[in-house]
Amino acid sequence: MNYSSEIQIQSESRTRRTRMTQRMRNLVRETELHPSNFILPLFVSDASANFKKEVSSMPGVYQLGIDNILVECEKALESKLGGVILFGITEDKDESGSSAHHDTGIIQLSLRAIKRRFPELLVATDVCLCEYTSHGHCGIVKENSRGEFEIDNDESVEQLVLEALSHAEAGSDLISPSDMMDRRIGAIREALDEHGFENLPIMSYAAKYASGFYGPFREAAGSSPSFGDRKSHQMDPANSDEAMRVIERDIREGADIIMVKPAMSYLDIIRRAKDEFTVPVAAYQVSGEYSMIKAAAANGWLDEERVMMESLVSIKRAGASIILTYFALEAAKHMAQ
Non-local CB neighbours of 292 within 8 Å, separated by 6+ positions: none
Q: 47 or 292: whose CB is closer to ligand PBG?
A: 292
* Number of residues counted as binding ligand PBG (CB under 6 A): 10
Which of 75, 80, 115, 208 is an active site residue? 208
Least gap, CB of 177 to ligand PBG (angstroms): 9
- At 43, give phi and psi (nearest 5°): -100, 110
Question: Which stretches of the chain are DSSP H helices?
Answer: 3-12, 22-28, 66-78, 106-117, 153-170, 184-194, 215-221, 241-253, 267-276, 287-298, 304-318, 328-336
Position 263 contacts ligand PBG (CB under 6 A): no
Position 327 contacts ligand PBG (CB under 6 A): no
Answer yes or no: 208 catalytic: yes
Q: 218 or 317: whose CB is closer to ligand PBG?
A: 218
CA distances, 211 to each of 101, 134, 205, 236 (Å): 27, 22, 14, 8
Site string for ligand PBG, 150-189 (x = CB under 6 A): ----------------------------x-----------
Dist. CA 219–CA 153, nearest whole Å: 25
Least gap, CB of 320 to ligand PBG (angstroms): 15
Q: 126 or 253: whose CB is closer to ligand PBG?
A: 126
Binding to ligand PBG, residues 184-243 (CB under 6 A): 214, 217-218, 230
Q: Which of 110, 287, 311, 325 binds ligand PBG (CB under 6 A)?
A: 287
According to DSSP, the β-strands at 174-177 and 149-152 are unpaired
Which of 261, 274, 294, 316 is an active site residue? 261
- Give the angle subtended at the CA of 205 by the CAs of 284 and 59, to the nearest 5°: 30
- What sign for the dihedral angle of Cα 9, 15, 21, 23? positive
Strand-pair partners of 123: 84
Position 109 contacts ligand PBG (CB under 6 A): no
Q: 101 or 230: whose CB is closer to ligand PBG?
A: 230
Q: 287 or 311: whose CB is closer to ligand PBG?
A: 287
Least gap, CB of 224 to ligand PBG (angstroms): 8
Position 125 contacts ligand PBG (CB under 6 A): no
Q: Which of 126, 163, 250, 253 binds ligand PBG (CB under 6 A)?
A: 126
258 touches 207 (CB < 8 A): yes
Dist. CA 331–CA 305, nearest whole Å: 8
Q: 73 or 128: whose CB is closer to ligand PBG?
A: 128
Residue 138: Cβ-neighbour burial (10 angstroms; 0-12, 13-18, 19+): buried
Least gap, CB of 303 to ligand PBG (angstroms): 23
Q: What is the dihedral of CA 197, 233, 42, 218, to 10 degrees?
A: 160
Residue whose beta carbon is closest to ligand PBG? 217
Omega prior to 262 cis, within 30 of 0: yes
Least gap, CB of 223 to ligand PBG (angstroms): 6
- At 234, give phi and psi (nearest 5°): -80, 160
Position 286 contacts ligand PBG (CB under 6 A): yes
Residue 112: Cβ-neighbour burial (10 angstroms; 0-12, 13-18, 19+): middle
Answer yes or no: 52 catalytic: no
Contact positions toward ligand PBG, by CB under 6 A? 126, 128, 130, 178, 214, 217-218, 230, 286-287
Question: Catalytic residue numbers?
Answer: 208, 261
